Amino acid sequence: MNDDLIRLLTLRDENSRVVLMGAGLLGLASGVVGSMAVLRRRALLGDALAHAALPGLCVAYLLLGDKNASAFLLGALVFGTLGVLVISFLRHHTRIKEDAAIGLVLSTFFGLGIVLSRIIQNQPSGNRAGLDGFLYGKAAAMVRQDVLLIAAVAGTILLVVTALYKEFRLLCFDRDFAGTQGWPVKRLDIGLMGLLCVCTVIGLPAVGVVLMAALLIIPAAAARFWTDRLSIMLVIAGLFGMLSALFGTAASALVAKLPAGPAVVLIATGCFVVSLLLAPRRGLIADALRRLRLSRCVGRQNVLRAIFELTESDASAGAWQPFDRLLRVRTWSSSALDRELKRAMGAGLVREDGDRYSLTERGAAEAARVVRAHRLWEMYLIAHADIAPDHVDRDADQIEHVLPADLISRLEERLRAQGRLPGDLPSSPHAIEGTSP
């Protein structure tokens, strides 16, 4: 086991060198092409293509026999292309929707492939050794020639994508706009599908039918989490594809009874899950943190505004507001209010005196800012959106936390120009909740 690992890592073995290189290049190419397909919402087309290629392999076998590997690939390419054409025909000329068309082509072509392969098996000279590998993939069986082919295809794909980068980018993000700009969108689309076809067919012998689709989709979907730019996404997807292919094949070589195709896919899935959780902007954890931060901020500002407005509405009662009175200002539970007060005290914004609370100096400053945003927005709504003064509180309550500073100053300018802003802090256009008897 240890020896195996060392042999693999040092690439001393000619065979493992070949296999790893082939798998890596395949992963790279499918990551790049897959990114385009996923952005173009054609993710599952690769799946259909891979299935549809099976009868092509069988026909090639029936016509030319077992030995001819490139005939296999040619047959697969022909039937894969045929499948894509049928899907596009069904979508444009019948009432069948795209999803059903993909499913139909996938299952009937594959069924045909199985029928043919059983017929081959029943022939006296028949053996399906060449065919069976295509279902689940036999990465370890790659030879130098296969790798050269994969390298050529991967190189072509990278070259085409680089050369037509601008066109493909437009096609992926806004096909109709590309059309109005005079780009030959139909031909570009066909070109993209062609790349997808070639990449799928090349990958079939290594990772198999179902898992080829995975290699197209998963690295691309994972890369999408990390960036909003296509060029970076292509690079990341290519990297993810390459790394999963390398590590998957290596793991399969080291661990007994671990087929390479599934191992590659599971590692790619690992990349996907990590990206889903950890990606800086689109990841779930970052998203959850952002939500948490926002809800903390909203809660804090609500407490501050409640104390501020109560104090303002009844100056004779002093700055200290009892808990019961605060509770009546908003529809919040006493435990929620208690929690928010504690947090605000922890941040040094609120002081406590038994059952009564008041703002610290910093708290008062922030509260004034929030109240100001709130009231400016209310006045804006009353003046420009024709909303009644007793209806603006709720809208402003939601927006006050997210109004950026430059918007506030523009609101101020506008209201001041109209003579609607008398002092520094506008007075509330409606009665404050919880203050009326």
Partner 1 sequence: MSLLGLRTDDVWTIVTAIFCNVACGLLGCYLVLRRMSLLGDAISHAVLPGLAAAFLITGSRAALPMLAGAMVVGVLTAACSAGLSRWGRVSEDAAMGVVFTSLFALGVVMITRAASQVDLDAGCVLYGLIEFVPLDRVTVAGAEIPRATLVLAVVLLLDVALILVFYKELKIVAFDPYLASAMGFNASLVHYGLMAAVAMTTVASFESVGSILVVAMLIAPGATAQLLTERLDHMLVAAAGVAALAAVGGYLLALELNTSVAGMMSVAVGIEFALAVMFAPRHGLLSKLFHNLSLSLRVEREDLLGLFYRRAEAGAAAGAAARELQRGHAPRWRTRWVTSRLLRDGLLDRGAGGQLRLTPTGQREARRIVRSHRLWESFLADHTDLPLDHLHAPAERMEHFLTPEIRAELAERDAQPDPHGREIPDDA
Spatial CA neighbour of 338 closest among 324, 348, 319? 324
Alpha-carbon distance 279 to 232, whole Å? 14
Spatial CA neighbour of 144 closest among 279, 237, 36, 18? 18
Q: Looking at beta carbons only, is 271 or 415 nearer to partner 1?
A: 271
Residues 6+ apart with CB under 8 A from 69: 145, 146
Q: Looking at beta carbons only, is 70 or 94 nearer to partner 1?
A: 94
CB of 94 to partner 1, least distance (A): 6
Beta strands 321-322 and 350-353, pairing class? unpaired
Q: What are the DSSP calls for 154-213, one per residue?
A: HHHHHHHHHHTHHHHHHHHH-HHHHHHTT--HHHHHHHHHHHHHHHHHHHHHHH-HHHHH
In which region does residue 92 sit, left (phi positive, over 0), alpha (psi from -120 to 50) or beta (all else)? alpha
CB of 383 to partner 1, least distance (A): 35
Q: Looking at beta carbons only, is 97 or 416 nearer to partner 1?
A: 97
Enter the tokens of residue 112.
Answer: 């045909």
Q: Looking at beta carbons only, is 286 or 327 nearer to partner 1?
A: 286
Enter the tokens of residue 137.
Answer: 């993939």
Alpha-carbon distance 336 to 340, whole Å? 6
Residues 6+ apart with CB under 8 A from 117: 54, 58, 128, 131
CB of 66 to partner 1, least distance (A): 19
CB of 210 to partner 1, least distance (A): 5
Q: Looking at beta carbons only, is 185 or 221 nearer to partner 1?
A: 221
CB of 393 to partner 1, least distance (A): 29
Q: Looking at beta carbons only, is 287 or 314 nearer to partner 1?
A: 287
CB of 225 to partner 1, least distance (A): 8
| Contact yes or no for 232/244 (Cβ under 8 A) | no
CB of 168 to partner 1, least distance (A): 17
- Which residues would be at the binding site for partner 1 (CB under 8 A)? 38, 41-44, 47, 90, 93-97, 99-100, 102-104, 106-119, 122, 132, 135-136, 210-211, 213-214, 217-218, 220-221, 224-225, 257-259, 261-263, 265-266, 269, 272, 276, 282, 284, 287
Alpha-carbon distance 114 to 53, whole Å? 11
CB of 291 to partner 1, least distance (A): 11
| Contact yes or no for 203/215 (Cβ under 8 A) | yes
Q: Looking at beta carbons only, is 79 or 110 nearer to partner 1?
A: 110
Q: Looking at beta carbons only, is 292 or 388 nearer to partner 1?
A: 292
The DSSP bridge partners found for residue 321 are: 357
Q: Looking at beta carbons only, is 43 or 64 nearer to partner 1?
A: 43
CB of 283 to partner 1, least distance (A): 9
